[in-house]
Structure 1
Amino acid sequence: MAVLNLEKIKDLRKEKKLSQEELAELLGFKSIYSYNRKELGHVKFSADELHALANFFKVPSEYFFEQEVAKNAT
């Protein structure tokens, strides 16, 4: 199962020296609050938003995900 790694998004934002407010504006969010709730994991990013983030940071969309193996899987 693929799991979104929010730290990767946050790390890329900080690497580019962008505030949450600046990235929210660049991505077309109506407020920093909307973006902040997504980066903190309170609200999920949509597929379109993840695609926009990947394009902005010039990484493949898969970059934001990690494979998680079920505990009972071998």
Structure 2
Amino acid sequence: MPEINLDFIKKRRKSLGISQADVAKKLKLKTPEKYNRRENGEYKFQAVELPLLAKVLEVGIEDLYK
């Protein structure tokens, strides 16, 4: 199974100047901490979140994988 590229996600978000709180809001997460845990690998991104994340980061879904 393909692995999510957390380093790419973090670097891309920072390069676009988007906060974790902004991404959390767009993914409809209740708190920025929930996004932070995903980005840091404590929790896995849900499959339904990946298309939204790709849109926020302005990349294709395939770019989110290693």
Name stretches of at least 5 consecutive residues in structure 2 with no aligned partner: none
Task: Identify the residue that residue 10 of structure 2 maps to in structure 1.
Answer: 10
Q: Whole-Å Cα distance in 1 between the matches of residues 39 and 59 of structure 2?
A: 17
Could you tell me the percent identity over the aligned residues? 39
Root-mean-square deviation over aligned CA pairs: 1.2
* Structure 1, gaps ≥5 residues long: 67-74
Aligned to 1:46: 46
Deviations 1:32-66 (A, max 9, x none): 11111100000000111111111222311110112
Moved over 3 A (4+): none
TM-score relative to the length of structure 2 = 0.86
Aligned residue in 2 for 1:26: 26
Q: How many residues align?
A: 66
If the length of structure 1 is used for normalisation, what is the TM-score? 0.78
